[in-house]
Amino acid sequence: MNDFPQIVWDEDGASRTARWRSESGMPPPKRVVVADDQTSADQAYRLACEGTALLYRGDFQNAKQLLQAIARRIDRKPRRPGKQAAPKSPTEAFHLHRQAQAQRARTLGMLLLPFDAGHALPLRRAPDVRQACLEAYGPAEEAYVASLRELQGLIGAHEWRKKGVPIPALGASIHPHYGVFSPVRGEYIDLVAKAPLPAALSKGAAFDIGTGTGVLAALLARRGVARIVATDQDPRALACARENLARLGCAKRVQVVEADMFPEGHAGLVVCNPPWVPARPSSPLEYAVYDPDSRMLRAFLDGLAAHLLPGGEGWLILSDLAEHLGLRSRDELVAMIEAAGLQVLDRLGARPTHSKTSDVDDPLHAARAAEITSLWRLGAKQK
């Protein structure tokens, strides 16, 4: 843990230090004060908005209530909403929404907790969080400080990892690790389950590019594909995919390899589900959702033809949410496909069923309500 920065604060008339942990990439706070069960929500909210972090000494359950009280103050509706100009476009609405999300995260991240070596939490009525922290942080040989909000994320991820995410198309559950994108959007999995497999698979393997939890590789194995090579460059994803594939009895059919994009060789089918929104992530954990300058999308399209067997197909799984937000047009996507020497063989679509599609209070509701997730069947252009 010596590579982690330190934070400094005064307590009981002495200067104290501890290591700082933040998987979300939040920098260590420059100002830290000690808070306890007597700290009021208004006082905590004011300090957090000013950029002062509060290191909590007291009852863990009271700390959770204090965080909830801060969140309520952040989320209060403006008293005179008519004075606020409506966004001029879906793109502006998207950027304003992200700015508000980032500011909210920074403010809520100012309530800190002390951790002992081994991830023990030395607060009254504190739960045993050691396993959840170990899964995200790895071993801790010395004391450190992290935000309560991040701890809640670690606990939530630990619970999802334990109970798993049911995947009806698999007839089983996928167990996501912390920091690996969870397959909660079932419509894209159903598209892969229904799309006709190309005949070229009889001559070679399938590639699953950016496998994440391994869910699509497992689905292809369940569909009878004899050999699959699943790639990822994130160590967490590689470990997660291997664990899931072993649990599902697919390990003999699926080889998980570390690679930025494509493995060596050619395939009868290449599947890729890149991040759907071409925007800059605000934290390392957002790279599964945001693809700056469509980097992964472009890399997949540009390299696909060179890795396809004759008659092989590339399956691009992509939502059109970016189009409805004005971040990328359909014409731009089609131009990328054509410039890569590819042709569209077919396109299968499905509407998402997650709750945000019907949430009229969501600032991005109009775009989400119109969203379609597509599986683009792509082939190399005939020369």
pLDDT of residue 356: 63
pTM of the model: 0.89
pLDDT of residue 220: 97
Q: Please give the share of the chain, as a percent, with pLDDT higher than 70.
A: 94
> What are the φ and ψ backbone dihedral angles of 310, each rounded to 5 degrees?
-55, 130
Q: HEC string of 194-241?
A: HCCCCHHHHHCEEEEECCCCCHHHHHHHHCCCCCEEEEECCHHHHHHH
pLDDT digits (tens, 9 = 90+) for 313-363: 999 999 989 998 899 999 999 999 999 999 999 999 988 877 666 567 777
30, exposed or middle or buried, with CB in 10 Å at 0-12, 13-18, 19+? Answer: exposed
pLDDT band at 206 (very low <50, low <70, confident <90, very high): very high
Range 238-246 average pLDDT: 97
pLDDT of residue 355: 63
In the chain, the DSSP E strands lie at 6-11, 14-20, 31-35, 52-56, 111-115, 144-147, 165-167, 172-174, 205-209, 228-232, 254-258, 267-272, 308-319, 342-350, 373-380
Distance CA 26, CA 288 (A): 18
pLDDT of residue 277: 86
pLDDT at 181 over 70: yes
Helices and strands of the chain, counted as H and E runs: 12, 15
pLDDT of residue 94: 86
Determine the 3-state secondary structure of 63 from DSSP.
Answer: helix
Range 173-198 average pLDDT: 92
pLDDT at 232 over 80: yes
Distances in Å between the alpha carbon of 33 and those of 36, 66, 149, 211? 10, 15, 17, 43
pLDDT of residue 329: 92
pLDDT of residue 352: 82
pLDDT band at 281 (very low <50, low <70, confident <90, very high): confident
pLDDT of residue 138: 92
Provide the terminal-to-terminal Cα distance of the chain, rounded to the nearest Å.
56
Range 137-164 average pLDDT: 94
Tokens of residue 108, six digits: 């809520």
pLDDT digits (tens, 9 = 90+) for 29-87: 999 999 999 999 999 999 999 999 999 999 999 999 999 999 999 988 665 555 567 77
pLDDT of residue 78: 62
pLDDT of residue 77: 63
Tokens of residue 148, six digits: 């309560």
pLDDT of residue 80: 54
Sheet holding 111-115, edge to edge: 6-11, 14-20, 144-147, 111-115, 52-56, 31-35
- 238 or 82: whose pLDDT is higher? 238
| Mean per-residue pLDDT over the chain, rounded | 91
Angle at 353 between CA 233 and CA 273, to 5 degrees: 20
